[in-house]
Structure 1
Amino acid sequence: MVVGSASSRIGVMRRLKTLFSAFFAFLAAITILSAATAAATSSAGASQAAVSEASPARLRVTVLQYSRPWKDYDFIVRSMEYLKKNWPGLELTFRSLPHIPLREELRRGNADLVIASSSFFAMDPTEKVRPLAALVSPRAKDPNHASAAVVVVRSDRRDLRRLNDLAAKSIAAQTEECELGLHYVEHEIAKAGFNPDGFWSVRRDEPGQMRKILEDVLAGRIDGGILRGCFLEDLGEKRMAEIGSQLRVLNAQPVDGLACLHSTVLYPGIILAGTSPLGVEHARRVTALLLSMPVDEDGSYWGISTDFTRTDQMLESLKLGPYEYLREWTFRRVWKEYPSAVVCSAILVAALLFYGVILRRLVRIRTRALEEEIEERRRLEREAAQANEQISAMQHAGAVGQISSIIAHELKQPLEAIQNLSRGTMRSLEDVDDVPPRTLDAVAKIRTEALHASDIVDRVREYGKGRRRAEALSVAEAVGEAFRQFRVSRRAKGAKLSLELPPQTEGLLVRMDPLDLRLVIVNLLANAVDAASKSPFPEVKLEVAPASDRKTVEIRVEDNGPKLPDEAYAQLGLTPGKSSKAQGLGLGLMIVKALLEAALGSIRFERIEPAGLRAIASLPAEEKKENEKEKP
């Protein structure tokens, strides 16, 4: 057991020794690699430094052109000479350009250093420049508040005391120098509550002509002029003494850090900025040299600007430069500036839409109700008109009935006299020899027609008293007899008449007054002939059709007349007193309907396509009994 334990310990020790050896070998390899890497890096840096020192430095410096005199320009020139003196091997090119050419050179990458006002760089943020130093002069100790504009007018212009007195007046400004003097003043006008757009008439002069603006103001050729801050002081004390009494500064500011006459608040001044072509090492060296440059004999030196807030506020207020998009109304801008108004407008629009939907629904419901009400009113009006028409027609029919009763009563005696006279005449002629047969026949017909007329009068009187004489009539014989009588009469009017009596009608009876049935058939045939007469080939057909159970029989009268309009078809047999005939009373179909209903029958009408009408009179029918007598 002891030997086994010792062997086991020896094996563990060997494995640990092997592990430690491998670990130390790994650390040695890492150390060697790190040393090699550091050596290579150091060699590369030394080579790059050697190349940098060996190649000559080149700087392209461009300054924004300002109207002369400009005292700061002399200090800028001395600063460039200082750079060349303290930077061995430096190749420096220096030039002065107006506003637009300078921006074009920046876009082309033809400048390493640019010296201009801070507002020049703020107007176009797309230009890749970074401020390196700021000019500090004895007139403006703070480079963050070193630039302004001055507005001058003639001292004898008593109507021009404040900036807003220049409304609708003419002014001149050097806008191409991009000192933003015009915009500085417009910002003051905007702060006073006026809209600077169109506030006055601006004459934009060429660069470098600020003296001309001053001369035009003194000569009265223009109402006012906007000058660069400290421009009057740069003219010199002698010139200031000459023109000082002739000028008035509008909106003159107190001493606030700029020892010059000015009409606006102060903004950052002259900036030296590096462009993207300028290398990092060159930018560092330029900045270090200028910041270490001794103070000039007039007190000027290079410092650093740190606050461009006022420039941004001015540009945003006037919607210029990076804020020009504010002149275009977009949803994002509206939401940013007026969120509460947008929310309220959205709620209002949603409410109006909801109200519109509800209103449209209510209007639709109300319109439907009004349409239904109007339709109901029209229906009631039609029913009232129809009722009035029926009442009028019934009154007309009643009057006709009364007149008919009177006529029937009055005709009874003349008809009886005609009968008696015709009978006496016949007896007298029987005793006379050689009487022409035609005479006897005429007297006989007179007596027959008188009897027939008397029978009609009796029937009218019975109608008036409400009495009916229903008899069992053979349908075939009664219809055939009525058809024959109508065909030989003059009422046929040349129409083609036809009669269809199927075998099933044999032995079929109807209970009705013979005269009533004949009146029904004759009246229907007469109406059919009148309708068919409007057709080129008038045809009328009379047909008897018993039902399969032989309980009813239909008498059908068809014509090929023109198609009836819907309104006329709907009024068939409903309105008494109305007739399409010139001399009709409008009682024919009403009489037919009354006669059929008295016999427990009915009448209906059917339109035939494409033209024509079918009148169907329906009557109860029964089989003929062996012991029952029938009358044709």
Structure 2
Amino acid sequence: MCSRFPLIQWALPWRLSLVVVALLALVAWRPALAQSAAPVRIGVLAYLGNEAAVEEWSPVVTQLSKALPGRSVELRLLAHEGLVAAAKGRDIDFVITNPGHYVELESRVGASRILTLQTGDAPGSADQAIGTAVVTRSDDQRIQRLADLRSQRVAIVGEEGFAGFQVAWRELAAEGIEPTRDLDLRTVGLPMDRVLTAVSSGQADAGFVRACMIEAKPEWRARFRVVAPRHETGFACASSTRLYPNWPIATLRHTDPELARAVTIALLEMRREDSPIVWTVPADYQAVHDLQRELQIGSYAGLRTPTMTAIVRRYWPWIVGLFALIGLGGLYTFHVERQVDARTADLRAAARERQALEAHLQQSREQAEHLARLSVLGELSGTLAHELNQPLAAIGNYAQSLIRRADNQRLTPETVREAAGEMAGQAERAAGVLGRIRSFAKKRVAQRTHVSPDAVVRDAVALFRGMQAGAPPVDVVDELPPGTTVSMDGLQIQQVLLNLLKNGWDATRELPPERQRLSVRLSLVSGQLRIEVRDLGDPLADAQQSQLFEPFFTTKPDGMGLGLAICRTIAEAHGGRLDAAPAANPPGLVFSITLPHDVRAPLSRPAPLADSSGR
């Protein structure tokens, strides 16, 4: 090793004293290091693939195994980011990588070079050792200069490659070419011979590889040529770019200083006559810093004005996480919306079913009301025939009288006019009875309008008395202001009144004539319309009174027990009530219909009117 000191002193005299002191200091520590069983872990950038890397760096393993007996040496063959992750995870103790990657590791993981690879014996060979060869096929003469690469397909290992991209990038930038914009870059990844495969197969017009790679194999030298070669003094290979320092071996923040000293001494003892790899004192990597500063990459990426692409590249894990959260939020929102839509659909279906059920119930209610009216008509059909027989008999008598007078030659115009008038009057009377019955029996949909309660009551009384032979007197007492109207379905309220009048007549039919009289009173109570129907019948038992409005309960031998239940339903459908209570001045029972307070009445209040003309 002493024979190499003059070369070292000539190249870097200020570092010589440090190396010598380190050599002398580490001799005493070797026994202690040899006794440790922890392996020496070296991370290597495998730019030519794992097999080529093992073959290239096996002399280092052999040398360290001899110099550090009792300790194993492990090579960890990794790519760029793999080396960074291993350094952060303390999975390696040393790093052997290209100069650009090393400068980046200085700022990212605290790497510190201890030696630099020396490829030749000439002074400064370690400082001028790395370049990039822009290669194309030997039979392709289209690309002669770097400027000819514009718009061409160019194969690269990746934008993080030093000799595989960044060194060429600096030269292209000097030509005014922005690779990511002006070239059709084709990233093929490691190992670097994939670049040659892409160029050879025609997938790319040119490629960036490390200088001296073409000269390594005769078949590559024959198949490819270097574009715009530069022949540097002391550098045996063709390079398309300027040269940079060789690969360093560097320690990390967690590397044991004693182990670092021992490894440094062991690697400096490697001689060219015994090994293809020779190490020298650390080279000056200022040229690499200049390159990264110009291109604003690596540890100088912060100088570049942020672009969307740069931001995505730098913060892509966070961006991916953000979009993942947004995606999960969107999926959750979609799931919730699906659930809401499903629930809404269920609610709508339930609402439709409810509406259908309500419509069916309404139809059933109307059907029941119609049947109740028909039932009342059926019960009154006997007396109805009697009422119709009177006008029909009168019409028949007048017709026979006209015939006899005509046969006796005593028919005069005055007689004909008198008979015709009487016949017309009787026919009108019969038509009125039938019209009221037809209107009452007709099946219809409930319709509310503002009508006069007095008119509804009087029509109901007239219908009741017109259909009943020997009907009792009905007194109508109207205590409402003139012109009072209420929103109601007049026919339905008429149906209620007719049922109540008929029930009152049925309850007093067998009583003395003075107790067969019925009365109807109309009044305003607390702003609501009240219609009271009273009879003078015998009182009901308490049990019967409590069941009076229950369906199918009746005190009549031939009754169905639906009349009063339907009447209460009609009153409640109008927002009112139907109640029954014993009369305040016995005997008798009072049915009260109470309707809501939307009563329209004038401010003046005349005296009540008593009327029994409905008889």
- For the aligned pair, the TM-score class normalised by the smaller chain equals 0.3 to 0.5
Quick check: which has more Rg, 1 or 2?
1
TM-score (norm 1): 0.41
TM-score (norm 2): 0.42
